[in-house]
Amino acid sequence: MHPDCERILLTEEEIHLKVKELAAQISRDYSDRELLVVGILKGSVIFLADLVRNITVPTRFDFMAVSSYGASSKSSGVVRILKDLNQGIEGRHILIVEDIVDTGLTLSYLVDNLKTRGPVSIKVCTLLDKPSRRMVDVAVHYNGFQIEDHFVVGYGLDYNERYRNLPCIMVLSPNVYKGGKKA
């Protein structure tokens, strides 16, 4: 366990089993189609890598980077695209892969933005979902785990660019993000 964390919320084993389950469902749903997986940087990278290795249909992937947090622990509500897709999505089936859906503001913005580019379909896959924090209604088609309102890190999720490399998902101590300890 990391000293900046209070407890382990999801173990490596729980995460890997859920990723395989999600990949199997996605593979069934897209059995006769090619899929373009859009990973949202940086948090989704580890999840996306494990997910696409378990998807059995023809799959390509690309990345977008967006920001609504900066160095804060709370979303500003203003979404900025920092890196756009490298390829067009017109006429394609899109699966957005997120590490966590919190307020829904970022995801809602992304879905609306990508819809204007002419894809056949857009679905969303997230590892974690915090429905208690939702500010806008967004459809999540593939959901790993619903969690309570904890600040979590690990398996790609960060606080101030740290903790992404932890192999499990842990609850970060409030002392770290509320000013008691420098991260």
pLDDT in tens, the chain (183 residues): 899 999 999 999 999 999 999 999 999 999 999 999 999 999 999 999 999 999 999 999 999 998 775 444 455 567 889 999 999 999 999 999 999 999 998 899 999 999 999 999 999 999 999 999 999 999 999 999 999 999 999 999 999 999 999 999 999 999 988 865 544
Report if residue 42 sits inside a domain.
yes
Instruction: Classify the C-alpha dihedral 7-10-16-19 as positive or negative.
Output: negative
User: How many CB atoms neighbour CB 24 within 10 A?
Assistant: 13
CA angle 21, 25, 30 (to 5 degrees): 145
Report if residue 126 sits inside a domain.
yes
Asked if 42 contacts 164 with a C-beta cutoff of 8 angstroms, the reply is: yes
Report if residue 84 sits inside a domain.
yes
Which pLDDT does position 178 carry in this prediction?
A: 83
149 is catalytic: no
Report if residue 29 sits inside a domain.
yes
Which pLDDT does position 183 carry in this prediction?
A: 43
Which pLDDT does position 180 carry in this prediction?
A: 56
Number of domains in the chain: 1
Report if residue 168 sits inside a domain.
no
Report if residue 172 sits inside a domain.
no
CA dihedral 154, 158, 162, 164 (to 10 degrees): 40
CA angle 102, 108, 110 (to 5 degrees): 110
**Per the residue annotation, which of 50, 99, 102, 158 is the catalytic one?**
102
Which pLDDT does position 1 carry in this prediction?
A: 83
Asked if 42 contacts 36 with a C-beta cutoff of 8 angstroms, the reply is: no
pTM of the entire predicted model: 0.91
Which pLDDT does position 79 carry in this prediction?
A: 81
Q: What's the rounded Cα separation, in Å, for the pair 158 and 152?
A: 8
Which pLDDT does position 142 carry in this prediction?
A: 98
CATH code of the domain in which 79 resides = 3.40.50.2020
Which pLDDT does position 182 carry in this prediction?
A: 45
Amino acid letter at 23?
A: A
Report if residue 108 sits inside a domain.
yes
CB neighbour list of residue 182: distance below 8 Å, 6 or more residues apart: none
Report if residue 179 sits inside a domain.
no
Which pLDDT does position 80 carry in this prediction?
A: 85
What is the domain extent for residue 17? 12-150
